[in-house]
Amino acid sequence: MGKSKYTYIWVSFIILVFGIIFIPKIIDRVYKGTVVESDRMSIDMNNGNLAFIVINGEKRKVPDFAFVNQDSLLITNNDYKGKVYVVEFFFTTCPSICPIMNQNLVQIQSEFKEFDDFGVASFTINPTYDTPTVLKEYAEKYGVTNLNWNLMTGDAQGIYDLANSGFNIFASEVPSAPGGFEHAGMFALVDRNGYIRSRVDDFGNPMIYYRGTITEEDGVNDQGEQEQIGILKEDIQKLLEEK
């Protein structure tokens, strides 16, 4: 038998052993949800589900929080257990993006008004001014009616930590900025178990957040960025149907 035939047999043997040993393990990891980042992207692209945000091999979960809402009630992350909800960071005197963000959220509220397991968590980044009374007036002004929509205030550092570290959504006091604060106009989507979820882009990477500063009616902004409220509503529906 020639050397090339021996080589062929040896390579075939290695492939066979790899298949016997490793493929069942990979399949088992998929079903148990323990795939690593490189595996997760291809799986999320193929199964039609929304992606989990995976950092250092762990699914990103909403950290514990406890703040007071517009009705002066203490609200924690536990109040959202079993619910699908959207998270935003805003402030009531914001002269730029916040009005658009909250108009979009009111539209989403109307879309899902029949679902008592859908909610919104709005955290003010100007808690010194945004007292429960101010937040109550703001909620009434914008037409907040969902009982699971809490506009929350409390310790400023705690809110900034939640925004910047918990969600990686930028928020900071910047005296030179319009209104005295800067923040990203993004929405985060959270599932019933407290995990941050999103769809994937054309390359299989999680979008992570949804652009909240463009209305469906406008479609695009001056920079040519597309609105994402439409896909956010689609993804909320997916999570509401998820078992």
Binding site, by residue number, is 94, 98, 183
**CA-atom Rg of the chain in angstroms:** 23
Residues whose CB falls within 8 Å of the CB of residue 202, separated by 6 or more in sequence, listed in order:
none
Q: Residue with structure tokens 């690593």?
A: 36
81, two tokens = 């257990």
Residue numbers belonging to the annotated binding site for Cu cation: 94, 98, 183
116, two tokens = 């008592």
Q: Parallel, antiparallel, or unpaired: how do β-strands 149-152 and 118-124 relate?
A: parallel
Do 75 and 66 touch, CB atoms closer than 8 A?
yes
Q: What are phi and psi of 14, to 5 degrees?
A: -65, -45
What length does the chain have?
A: 243
